[in-house]
Amino acid sequence: MYTEYYGLSERPFQLTPDARFYFESRTHKKAMAYLGYGLAQGEGFIVITGDVGAGKSTLVAHLMATIDRARLNAINIVSTQVEGTDMLRLAAQGMGLDTARAEKAQLLERVEKHLEEEARNGKRTLLIVDEAQNLPESALEELRMLSNYQINGRALLQIFLLGQPEFREKIASDSLEQLRQRVIATHHLDPMGANEVEPYIMHRLGLSGWQGRPSISPETFAEIYRHTGGVPRRVNQLAARVLLHGAVEHLDVIDAEAVETVAAEMAADARKQEERVLPLRSVSSASAAHEPVRDLGLEQRIFELEARVEEQETALRRVLTLLVDWVEGEAEPVSYRHNAA
């Protein structure tokens, strides 16, 4: 509802990766430089890592939106914990190949023929694997084997691997030495700096039709950085909640106090969720006392779902409050819409 209240054309801080909202922070600019270098080399592996919410998926979305599809066939796979043959099957499906009832040898033959045909047509193939930290060594080894395909000394497939920080530890293992030797560049996505939060927020607001309402005081950005550490997803979460708070409270100016209020609410919500999970931690000691074994994973998911429902209900109550305000005092939003027109 804050989009309508502030006259925005869309939500500026949605969590779903969207290439249109790509912001070239210092670390993302460096990552794109490495990706560009990798594309120019046309072989090997490029590894990009980053913490949860660092912007890896948005980086991929931006890359996919900017490549020349006439010259490069890019395949994007968000990996799960799949073994080697399943990874091969996912890659083949991404290439548009029929994998039904095909054995591994048949899959390899079809992939190789497809890559050779693409190369003869002057088209390169790029395989992007996101969430690579979830891949077992068998899947990574399968990807390494695919990178061996070549024609006339030219690699037929290039691979970008994106994952969380622990992926760097995984590929550092002795068993993946051969894959590590194929890595031509790596980069770790750091959080945004304190001086980047303001241009990041204004960039997203500008793309969403912001016309100066609400106005944002200078100290607001420093407060947002203090609570988020510059992690893009955390900035989005906090900024979206602050705008919702501003709409509910009819604020025309967003200041540091508003950010502090919302940050405190979010921290309280997190504590409630933690309190729901705490009983599960004591259950682990119960097994030592020969008590019945419980499905802790299932219980934790239930607690997490309940916490999400509670958070959604809180947001819904705020939205309903806003609607009631609009109905009871229609003059204010109507006059704003007339002024905006």
Cα separation, 91 vs 126, in Å, equals 11
DSSP 122-172: T-EEEEEEESGGG--HHHHHHHHHHTT-EETTEESEEEEEEE-THHHHHHT
Residue type, 56: K
pLDDT at 338: 39
Cα separation, 116 vs 111, in Å, equals 9
Cα separation, 92 vs 202, in Å, equals 41
Domain 26-189 sits in CATH 3.40.50.300: yes
Contact 207, 12 (CB under 8 A): yes
What pLDDT, in 10s, does the model give residues 215-244? 999 999 999 999 999 999 999 999 999 999
Q: Taking the model in full, what pTM does it have?
A: 0.75
Residue 115: closest CA among 73, 68, 70, 156: 156
Residue 106 has pLDDT above 70, yes or no: yes
Taking each helix axis from N to C end, the angle separating 232-248 and 296-328, rounded to the nearest 10 degrees, works out to 40
Percent of the chain residues topping a pLDDT of 90: 59
Residue 159: closest CA among 70, 269, 75: 75
pLDDT at 68: 86
DSSP state of 176: G
Q: Where are the domains of the chain?
A: 26-189, 195-340
Instruction: Print burial letters for 252-262: b (CB count within 10 Å at least 16), e (below 16).
Output: eebbbebbeeb
Q: Is the torsion defined by CA of 243, 248, 251, 256 positive or negative?
A: negative
